[in-house]
């Protein structure tokens, strides 16, 4: 990272879920953590290569294995694991494997999220299966991870930090996004409650609420005129965000410079949302 040097990251072990996409939030978080001196556990869903976006196919991308290579190139250790955050047993295995491989855990970044899809409809038209899929990955997955790794951090007795990736949708609560918005609002509630419970152990819990980020998740919007109009009308700073924008505040919240911040849900959105 350029500029201010963040303290308290070197030699730590971080877990980053949903870290396998080339154009994403998880990848830059993992790489910037490695550049700051953290060893990194990377999880993904084990996507079939035929389902990769075309740019990933063209680049010869290999999901979390490719991100692990970047982590190692930064001089850190990496462990890539296919893991389903919506399965509590799988999450418990992730904790055990992390501790067996690295002997400790310090930071958890809950970034895994359900893809945009057929859930973006009015509530009366929302398929129950779509509701459960979004809630299971976004909210339940964050709960399972926070619960399991929270226990490990408490037992370790050396503090630590959890950052949950939420969304401004959890504050805006827009129409045709009931499942997604409910899941993200739930993450913010989970963050606030847990922070008050584990602060006595020196564990901090915060959430980031990204706005419009130029990643694969937004590929249902063509990057032409419609995209430019969205940016012009929705973002006061007149540009879409990047994964690096989100990674920067994640690292700050994990660092010693952020060690008196907990229970917060920060909008990182170019000014789209000003309410808290």
Could you report the per-residue pLDDT of 157-193, keeping only the tens digit for each? 999 999 999 999 999 999 999 999 999 999 999 999 9
Do 108 and 162 meet the contact criterion of CB atoms below 8 Å apart? yes
Annotation marks residue 201 as catalytic: no
Q: Is the pTM of this model over 0.75?
A: yes
The active-site residue, picked from 180, 201, 216, 266, is 180
CATH number, domain 13-268: 3.40.50.720
Q: Using a pLDDT cut of 90, give the percent of the chain over it.
A: 93
Q: Residue 43: pLDDT band by 50, 70, 90 thresholds?
A: very high
* Backbone dihedral angles phi then psi of residue 208, each to the nearest 5 degrees: -115, 135
Phi, then psi, of 42 in degrees rounded to 5: -110, 130
Read off the pLDDT of residues 76-122 as tens digits, 9 standing for 90 and up.
999 999 999 999 999 999 999 999 999 999 999 999 999 888 999 99
pLDDT above 80 for 2? no
Query: For residues 22 and 271, is the Cβ–Cβ distance under 8 A?
Result: no
Can you give the pLDDT at residue 274?
A: 87
Interacting residues of 175 by C-beta distance below 8 A, sequence separation 6+: 122
The backbone torsions φ and ψ at residue 41, rounded to the nearest 5 degrees and listed phi first, read -95, 125
Q: Is the pLDDT of residue 225 over 50?
A: yes
């Amino acid at each position: 990272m350029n500029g201010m040097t963040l303290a308290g990251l070197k030699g730590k072990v971080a877990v980053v879920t949903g870290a396998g996409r080339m154009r994403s939030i998880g990848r830059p978080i993992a790489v910037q953590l490695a550049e700051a001196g953290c060893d990194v556990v990377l999880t993904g869903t084990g996507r079939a290569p035929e389902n990769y976006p075309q740019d990933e196919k063209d680049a010869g991308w290999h999901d979390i294995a490719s991100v692990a290579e970047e982590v190692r190139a930064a001089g850190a250790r990496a462990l890539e694991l296919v893991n389903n955050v919506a399965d509590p047993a799988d999450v418990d295995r992730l904790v055990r494997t992390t501790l067996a491989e690295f002997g400790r855990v310090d930071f958890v970044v809950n970034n895994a999220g359900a893809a945009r899809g057929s859930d973006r409809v009015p509530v009366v038209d929302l398929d129950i299966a779509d509701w459960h899929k979004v809630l299971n990955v976004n909210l339940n997955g964050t709960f399972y991870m926070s619960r399991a790794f929270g226990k490990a951090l408490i037992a370790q007795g050396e503090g630590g930090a959890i950052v949950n990736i939420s969304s401004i949708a959890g504050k805006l609560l827009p129409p045709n996004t009931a499942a997604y918005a409910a899941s993200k609002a739930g993450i913010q509630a989970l963050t606030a409650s847990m922070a008050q419970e584990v602060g006595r152990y020196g564990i901090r819990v915060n959430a980031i609420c990204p706005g419009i980020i130029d990643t694969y998740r937004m590929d249902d919007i063509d990057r032409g005129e419609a995209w430019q109009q969205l940016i012009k009308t929705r973002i006061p700073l007149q540009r879409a965000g990047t994964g690096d924008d989100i990674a920067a505040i994640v690292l700050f919240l994990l660092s010693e410079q952020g060690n008196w911040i907990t229970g917060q849900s920060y909008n990182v959105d170019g000014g789209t949302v000003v309410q808290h």
